Homo-oligomer: A and B are copies of this chain.
């Protein structure tokens, strides 16, 4: 087998230097003379030498591998984040080890990550159980939760200001004259869904209103459709719905328009959260709240890499501002009279 067969020893022999000289020539900042470096580089090029990152990882204890864990990629928010995060990590000289998880096998997946000596972990879905968090901590591997957090856990997290974003949504809907406002949650145990609901409640309360109803969509397309049918199936129809994320909001809009023959926003207003690309598409034109994926990714990467490079793991929580994006799926507030 021709398994990457050319080694630093081969290059050394060819360049008439020691094997460590070869190593140095390929280590930025090592002390080599220009002459030696050139000799080595030339020999390396002739032989087609490529440093073995695995061997390097083993001896140096630095794999430059970051694990990213995601549960699903059908909500466009995550592909966008994954793309940005991979690029950001690559730019800093790290490689991404990607893991897909199901609710069940998360333990195994984290074991695999640790076996591969990853230097850091980003969990973009599925929350770390406390035992796994402890295990990561014991190996000194920093972890960042992305778009979620666990209040009781010492794990760092990056989120948008879900409470404030949802609060703005509530004010916007109230100003639009809506009176029967309902909410469709993601998962009951998701910090993101809970915060969005709490902020929404708070905003409504500030306007002297309360939620007219609620249901749970489980972050899935079908679940959201069921929730919509449930909330809009009765006599006393809501006049606005806040759906915990855009992905579910599209499904809700489909049910409202397709099955229930309601017009949006004339008969009912729909607002979401995330501002995924499809929200801007004319077919949905969804009023929503932007989660700033770019800054969120930057924050996650900075927090992680800083902890990796300084070998200190501590809890950091970044909360980035969220911004209301008014499009056409919700009735607009009337301009002030007079």
Query: Residues of A with Cβ closer than 8 Å to B?
Result: 1-4, 48, 50-55, 57-58, 61, 63, 68, 72-74, 76, 78-80, 82-83, 86-87, 90, 95-100, 109, 111-112, 114-117, 135, 138-140, 250-251, 253-254, 257-258, 277-278, 281-284, 311
Contacts and interface: CB of A to CB of B under 8 A. Distances in A.
B3 A139 contact: yes
The oligomer's copy count stands at 2
A86 B100 CA distance: 7
Contact of A140 (B2, B58, B79, B139): B2
B115 A100 contact: no
Contact of A80 (B1, B4, B73, B250): B73
Contacts of A73: 79-80, 82-83
Contacts of A87: 100
28 contacts: A1-B311, A2-B140, A3-B139, A4-B114, A4-B117, A50-B111, A50-B115, A51-B115, A52-B117, A58-B58, A68-B98, A73-B79, A73-B83, A74-B79, A74-B80, A76-B79, A79-B82, A86-B99, A86-B100, A87-B100, A90-B99, A90-B109, A250-B283, A253-B282, A253-B283, A254-B282, A258-B282, A281-B283
A306 to B, nearest CB: 16
B100 A90 contact: yes
Contacts of A68: 98
B86 A98 contact: yes
A211 to B, nearest CB: 27
Given A54-B54, A250-B281, 15 more contacts: A2-B138, A3-B61, A50-B111, A51-B115, A68-B98, A73-B79, A73-B80, A73-B82, A74-B76, A79-B79, A86-B98, A90-B100, A95-B116, A96-B97, A253-B283
